Structure 1
Amino acid sequence: MTRAVLSIGSNMGDRLELLRGVVAGFGARVRAISPVYSTAPWGGVKQDDFLNAVLVVEDPAYDCHAWLAHGQRLEQAAGRERTVRWGARTLDVDIVTCAEPVAGGSRSCRSADPVLTLPHPRAHERAFVLIPWLDVEPAAVLDVAGIEYPVRDLLAKLAAGEIAGVRRTGHTLTSAGAAP
């Protein structure tokens, strides 16, 4: 079973509904959904705060590039324009890590392809990725430069201000009775 951890975010338009659209867009592939967090923008471009969450998704028919293509289709449907690096966006769907089956378990995919760099090269620096990921996978590990670290340890290395800037909201990405 190919599995991916996705970081999703929005800071334009109806942010919550755009994130809910990602959950609906991945449908039955969604295995876990983190709570929704409000976070200041990252990267120095003046813009509104983001709503962020993490999804864990699985599908035996998907490889890492299929997860990317699916996420990009959802971004395009939401009107995403890639004009300013780290700028405001209607929707951002990033693959944090992707694992593919191997005999006796799974292995984390590595890719230096500029179109799909895996694991995500800056995920370990971003509290808005690590905090919601820990909500859905408390024992999560992330490969950083070829070494696997517990996500909890990576989060502990971040500045207190970075961590404090990730604020849990009361929002959810599913309605009562909806799966998952």
Structure 2
Amino acid sequence: MSRNLAQGIEGGPSRDAKTPVDAVIALGSNVGDRAATLRAALEDLARLPLVVEVKASTAVVSIAVTPEGPDEEAPAYLNAVAILSTRLAPSVLLDYLHAIENRHGRVRRERWGDRTLDLDLIAYADVTSDDPDLELPHPRAAERDFVLEPWLAVDPDATLPGHGRVDALLARLRGSE
């Protein structure tokens, strides 16, 4: 069953605000010391208020993707996924993610450009939202093996709301490559 943000995910009757939920965060970096940046970002996530636990995947390397497709000339990305057990509302969590990106030198010059750190909120429990400021689940997560592979490594039973099991999504992607 899917819940919309308007149906009380911010702490209304459909959710007990004292019960943590799982939020899936994709981490990526292709500028600077990528591994050190991802490690520091994971530490930042663990220090967020109302975050009870952080489980992180190992990092995978991926080719940079632009709106035109893969760009083998651009620096490669290091990607990972973290699952946060949190009581933060999704909009508040997203604000914290942007603040962490900024602290690590993220500059938003061009869409899909090189970056020191990219933190995407992929899923928040089974919440769905089509709000342009907070689309849940992430609209392109089902198309990104560099999100699905590390997510599956940290949660073999993962499901992307509205799309199905992550292992099936990854198998479908790899079958089409």
**Alignment correspondent of 1:158:** 173
Residue 31 (structure 1) shift? 2.6
Task: Please state if 1:96 is matched with 2:122.
Answer: yes
Residue 53 (structure 1) shift? 0.3
Identity %: 39
TM-score normalised per structure 1:
0.78
Task: Please state if 1:137 is matched with 2:155.
Answer: yes
Q: Structure 1 unaligned runs (5+)?
A: 100-107, 163-180
Structure 1 CA distance, aligned partners of 2:159 and 2:175?
A: 21
- Counterpart code for 1:111: S
**Alignment correspondent of 1:79:** 105
Structure 2 CA distance, aligned partners of 1:88 and 1:68?
A: 20
- Counterpart code for 1:14: D
**Alignment correspondent of 1:37:** 60
CA contact (8 A) 2:46 2:54 kept: no
Residue 2 (structure 1) shift? 2.8
Structure 1 CA distance, aligned partners of 2:97 and 2:112?
A: 17
Which of 69, 74, 77 is residue 50 of structure 1 equivalent to?
77
Say which SS state the counterpart of residue 158 (structure 1) adopts.
helix
Task: Please state if 1:20 is matched with 2:39.
Answer: yes
**Alignment correspondent of 2:91:** 65
Structure 1 residues 82 and 149, CA gap change in structure 2 (3 angstroms): same
Say which SS state the counterpart of residue 24 (structure 1) adopts.
helix
TM-score normalised per structure 2:
0.79
Aligned residues: 150
Say which SS state the counterpart of residue 156 (structure 1) adopts.
helix
Residue 148 (structure 1) shift? 4.4
Structure 1 CA distance, aligned partners of 2:109 and 2:131?
A: 21
- Counterpart code for 2:98: Q
Say which SS state the counterpart of residue 85 (structure 1) adopts.
coil
Say which SS state the counterpart of residue 128 (structure 1) adopts.
helix
Residue 47 (structure 1) shift? 1.6
Structure 2 CA distance, aligned partners of 1:66 and 1:140?
A: 23
Deviations 1:6-61 (A, max 9, x none): 0000000111111111111012534311011111111245520000000000222x
